[in-house]
Amino acid sequence: MAARIEYRTLPVPAFAEHTVQIAAGAVTFGVEYRHLDEDTILAFFGTDSREKFDNVRPAGMAEVVEEDGLSLHVFATATGEEILRFDCFDDAPHYHLLDAGRVRNIVIEHDPGDGPLLDWALPRLRDELPRLLADAGAGALARDVDPSALEPALLAVAQTAQYVLAAGRPVRVPQASN
């Protein structure tokens, strides 16, 4: 059974400037090339970031965080709230069940024996999205999912994921000083 950790702190949110959004009715998928490091974590959470996560790291996560890779997000279209996230990182692939109302973040380690997380996640989103949303605490949203909207949206997600992976880490352009 995959390791499962429950936190009382939500993760660093998606970076909108690096996230392609694909609407699918009640949910919107996000495809992001994500770079997460100590500077990003400190900028978002402050110097007590480790305490906010009870000093517990997901399995496979290094002491000094330096993660790169594709993230798939599932947002509630009406509110923009993130409900699910699949962090398809090389070193510590995992996914999140998020409930902002209860400030709950369940992190589930992906079993490498199941293949790459992206290849595992896409069929789950197609076939099990309502159950995953309900598991995250979004039962009402789960009931609003339109299965006929999922297939074309997930095809676009898969294509966008391949493009984003090929493009790699976004380059930060330094701001010109005046």
For the stretch 35-53, pLDDT in tens is 887 787 777 776 666 665 6
Residue 10 pLDDT > 90, yes or no?
A: no
Can you list the positions of beta strands (E) in 26-78? Answer: 27-37, 66-76
CA-CA-CA-CA torsion sign (10, 12, 16, 18):
negative
The answer to the question of residue 9 being in a domain is yes
CA angle 23, 24, 25 (to 5 degrees): 105
The answer to the question of residue 178 being in a domain is no
The answer to the question of residue 172 being in a domain is no
pTM: 0.87
- The H-or-E segment that residue 134 falls in is helix 117-135
Residue 178 pLDDT > 60, yes or no?
A: no
The answer to the question of residue 18 being in a domain is yes
The pLDDT of residue 5 is 87
**Which pLDDT band, with edges at 50, 70 and 90, does 3 fall under?**
confident
The answer to the question of residue 60 being in a domain is yes
The answer to the question of residue 117 being in a domain is yes
The pLDDT of residue 65 is 63
Residue 22 pLDDT > 70, yes or no?
A: yes
Count of domains forming the chain: 1
> Would you tell me how many other CB atoms lie within 10 Å of the CB of residue 64?
7
**pLDDT: is 170 or 88 the higher one?**
88
The answer to the question of residue 177 being in a domain is no
3-state secondary structure (DSSP) of residue 93: coil
Range of the domain at 55: 4-167
* Separation of alpha carbons 175 and 178, rounded Å: 9
**pLDDT: is 132 or 89 the higher one?**
132
Tally the residues of the chain. Answer: 178
Q: What is the pLDDT of residues 155-176, one digit of tens each?
A: 999 999 999 999 887 766 565 6
* Separation of alpha carbons 125 and 123, rounded Å: 5
* Separation of alpha carbons 49 and 51, rounded Å: 5
The pLDDT of residue 27 is 98
CA angle 159, 162, 168 (to 5 degrees): 140
The pLDDT of residue 168 is 84
The answer to the question of residue 174 being in a domain is no
